């Protein structure tokens, strides 16, 4: 029965995971190939096909320039095929080039000047970066974001922050020269800098104070429930026990608690955070509590009895908790930005993602970071499905993130990838002639082996990490 249940769960998840995965991948691949296509068309290159997916064609059409626009059965990528390409990887076909007429040779990719060939190849990754900038700019402008002030409300005892000298009330303004405007930026920087020294500037009593902290490497649960090794400083924002909403007919409603009340004591015990209140309430099901709140500057005490509520804990066990029926006030600020500011923020976000990705990969190469966090198609599918459940805006945001990753990956100097082609062109520029066909063929074979090895490795990571 358990096996049947697991199978049912996987099938149920696939209903969301597969369409979300295909949507994200198709958008990213389409714009990548569109970058190649547009610049190639501008340079007068004859294009045989523009394909989304590989393998047999599902449907397609020819445009007025003779390009076949096709959708294929294997939707795990795509390609633009030039007239003189051997295959979808844009390996040049020297034999076909020699047999072409003068008119055909004029439209061949390999006969174009070096700068045009380089521009066509680079246009794919550039299109990915531009897509990310446009998406982020649209999200910042239309959807906006919630910003929580990067102020320290709590320093965890024994943490890296405690060792560095952080104090309650510190306002973080700078990390390694990067201006900090929200708590989210702090969390992102600490997460990707495990065991790396950070120079942090805080405002303390109106004075700038320089601190040096090294985030500890810990296993942390991400927002989608995934576990990952991340850097942790040990600083927290503590939500004040300020009631924003009281549920009708709840224990709090029956006791006379109101929106706007600030809880200051429960049974005489001082309350400094919403979490303090939750801890007491959750363990007091059916027990009358004397709750003192500050209302319009006056202390008011009410007696409330948390209602017993059954729920599941992290291990899946049924537990009974006390529920008061209040919702804390969200002290973050929702901000939308004008189009110009949004474009700048989108550009900055794209740069930050690219820079942090390269830093992480550099640490893997130097043996200072584990490669077990690298994921492949299975992980992308899982995350796509989970994000899709959060809403369309979240899925579009994931598309931007993946677009940056695909753009970076294609710039790696590995033959078959765009970066490999650019590497060959760099040699051509230095030598004054193209590398021999034999040398390029060997390079493409090596590149294919490297890509296959990478795919096996990340798929192994996906399976070991139980992505499904």
**Active-site residue list:** 33
- Helix (H) or strand (E) run with residue 435 in it: none
Contacts of residue 16, defined as CB under 8 A and 6 or more positions apart, other chains included, come to 385, 388, 389
> 231: buried, middle or exposed (CB in 10 Å: 19+, 13-18, 0-12)?
buried
Asked whether the beta carbons of 152 and 235 are under 8 A apart, the reply is yes
Asked whether the beta carbons of 274 and 217 are under 8 A apart, the reply is no
Say which DSSP state 109 is in: G
Q: Please state, in angstroms and rounded to a whole number, the distance separating the CA atoms of residues 458 and 455.
A: 5
Q: Please state, in angstroms and rounded to a whole number, the distance separating the CA atoms of residues 57 and 68.
A: 11
Asked whether the beta carbons of 194 and 216 are under 8 A apart, the reply is yes
Instruction: Give residue for tokens 């051997």.
Output: 86
Q: Please state, in angstroms and rounded to a whole number, the distance separating the CA atoms of residues 348 and 94.
A: 42
The pairs formed by 176-182 with CB atoms below 8 angstroms and a separation of 24 or more are 176/200, 180/150, 181/147, 181/150, 182/147, 182/148, 182/149, 182/150
Q: Please state, in angstroms and rounded to a whole number, the distance separating the CA atoms of residues 306 and 322.
A: 5
- Residue 287's φ and ψ, nearest 5 degrees, are -110, 130
The bridge status of strand 333-335 relative to strand 207-213 is unpaired
């Amino acid at each position: 029965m358990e096996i049947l249940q697991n199978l049912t769960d996987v099938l149920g998840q696939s209903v969301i995971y597969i369409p979300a995965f295909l949507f994200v991948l198709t958008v990213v691949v389409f714009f990548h190939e569109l970058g190649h296509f547009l610049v190639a068309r501008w340079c007068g290159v004859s294009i045989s096909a523009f394909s989304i997916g590989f393998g047999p064609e599902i449907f397609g059409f020819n445009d007025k320039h003779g390009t076949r626009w096709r959708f294929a059965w294997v939707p795990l990528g795509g390609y633009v095929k030039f007239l003189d390409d051997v295959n979808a990887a844009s390996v040049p076909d020297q034999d076909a080039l020699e047999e072409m007429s003068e008119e055909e040779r004029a439209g061949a990719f390999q006969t174009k000047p070096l700068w045009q060939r380089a521009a066509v190849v680079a246009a794919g990754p550039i299109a990915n970066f531009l897509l990310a900038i446009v998406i982020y700019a649209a999200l910042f402008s239309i959807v906006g974001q919630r910003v929580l002030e990067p102020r320290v409300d709590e320093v965890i005892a024994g943490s890296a922050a405690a060792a560095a000298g952080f104090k309650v009330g510190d306002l973080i303004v700078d990390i390694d020269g990067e201006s900090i405007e929200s708590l989210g930026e702090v969390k992102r920087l600490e997460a990707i800098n495990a065991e790396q020294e950070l120079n942090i500037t805080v405002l303390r009593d109106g004075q700038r104070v320089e601190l040096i902290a090294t985030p500890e490497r810990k296993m942390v649960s991400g927002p989608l429930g995934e576990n990952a090794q991340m850097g942790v400083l040990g600083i927290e924002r503590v939500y004040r026990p300020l009631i924003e909403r009281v549920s009708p007919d709840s224990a709090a409603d029956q006791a006379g608690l109101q929106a706007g009340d600030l809880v200051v004591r429960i049974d005489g015990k001082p309350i400094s955070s919403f979490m303090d209140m939750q801890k007491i309430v959750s363990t007091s099901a059916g027990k009358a509590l004397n709750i003192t709140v500050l209302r319009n500057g006056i202390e008011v005490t009410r007696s409330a009895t948390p209602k017993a509520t059954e729920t599941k804990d992290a291990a899946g066990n049924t537990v009974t908790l006390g529920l008061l029926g209040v919702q804390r006030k969200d002290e973050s600020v929702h901000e939308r930005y004008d189009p110009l500011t949004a474009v700048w923020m989108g550009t900055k976000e794209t740069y930050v993602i690219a820079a942090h990705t390269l830093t992480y990969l550099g640490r893997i190469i130097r043996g200072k970071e584990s490669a077990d966090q690298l994921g492949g198609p299975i992980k992308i599918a899982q995350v796509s499905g989970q994000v899709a459940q959060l809403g369309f805006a979240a899925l579009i945001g994931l598309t931007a993130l993946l677009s940056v990753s695909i753009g970076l990956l294609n710039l790696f100097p590995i033959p078959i990838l765009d970066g490999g082609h650019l590497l060959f062109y760099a040699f051509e520029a230095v030598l004054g002639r193209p590398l021999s066909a034999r040398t390029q063929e060997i390079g493409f074979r090596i590149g294919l082996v490297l890509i296959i090895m990478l795919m096996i490795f990340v798929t192994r990571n996906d399976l070991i990490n139980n992505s499904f």
